[in-house]
Amino acid sequence: MATDRRLALITGASSGIGAELARIHASRGGDLVITARRQKELERLKTDLESSHGSRVHVIVKDLAEPDAPQAIYNDLNTRGLRIDYLMNNAGFGNYGLFHQQDWARNEAMIKVNVLALAALTRLFLPDMVARRSGRVLNVASMAGFLPGPLQAVYYATKAFVISFSEAIANELAGTGVTATVLCPGPVETEFARQAGTQGVRGFARMASAHEVAQAGYEAMLRGRTMIVPGSLNKLMIHGLLRLAPRGLVTRTSRSLMEKRVRVDRWPPTDYAERG
């Protein structure tokens, strides 16, 4: 397999799709900057990738809910003289329950991580890529971004932003040598379901592996595709059924898929998903 020494920055790399993206890039001979909140997991991944693939791996421990985190990451890399070729905005988390019963501070943190940090990092690194006429951006969204999400209202809305934002900048970047891709998976076997409190939800009965989703996103990024929806049934739902069905029906169906066996109005607020 051909090697690629390009340097990739991956957020939320301590587990799930982010860790799999790191493994895939390292297996191609690439070097990495991995960032998340959990230093122990990042250091373990660094050791594994350096020993298995000979990659150079740099660890930055940051919580992207902190408003200065994106600029701090950018400044740190500039100080080290590290040039980012691939930016993979994977960090994100969700929660479960009725919006009016949820703690606003936690929803605010979700918006900061899923929306503000993603947009800020993209804004920070894109000018350098455009100046070099070379670079790739991969933003991890979700099928959730295509429809309203009762019982995960804020999470679905954040992913709608990621899809719209990514499609727009992909258009703006045409002819620059830089591309933007948005990855829109369905349910994935990661820590998300357990930590977002969605165990037992009907829509999570079948889940794709984090590796196959990361592989689909990575390959689409390299090809410069604007959007990738992994899975033939997911593609059918997004490009066919959801576009044709009345909006009210789409919302009711979304609510049904998010229901649990226990009535949601008696379900206690849950802790929030790991954001890396």
pLDDT value at position 195?
54
| Res 235: pLDDT | 72
155 catalytically annotated: yes
> Which of 30, 29, 10 minimizes the C-alpha distance to 20?
10
Residues, the chain, total? 276
162 CB burial (10 A radius; 0-12, 13-18, 19+): buried
pLDDT of residue 1: 43
Q: Give the pLDDT of residue 270.
A: 37
Mean pLDDT by 10 residues, the chain (276 residues): 78 96 98 97 98 97 98 98 98 94 95 98 98 98 92 96 98 98 86 50 62 97 96 72 67 67 40 44
Residue 207, pLDDT score: 65
Measured in whole angstroms, the distance separating CA 166 from the mean position of its chain's CA atoms is 12
CA distance 28 to 137: 17
Strand partners, 188: 208
Q: How far apart (Å, rounded) are the C-alpha atoms in residues 191 and 15?
A: 8
Tell me which of 3.20.20.70, 3.40.228.10, 3.40.50.720, 3.40.190.10 is the CATH number of domain 7-266: 3.40.50.720
pLDDT at 126: 98
Angle between helices 16-27 and 210-223 (to 10 degrees): 60
CB < 8 Å & 24+ apart, contacts of 163-171: 163/227, 165/118, 165/119, 165/122, 165/139, 166/137, 166/139, 166/141, 166/226, 166/227, 167/226, 167/227, 169/122, 169/126, 169/137, 170/226
Residue 208, beta-bridge partner list: 188
The catalytically annotated residue of 96, 155, 156, 272 is 155
- Predicted pLDDT at 187: 85
User: How far is Cα 90 from Cα 20, in angstroms, rounded to an integer?
Assistant: 11
Q: Write down the pTM of the prediction.
A: 0.85
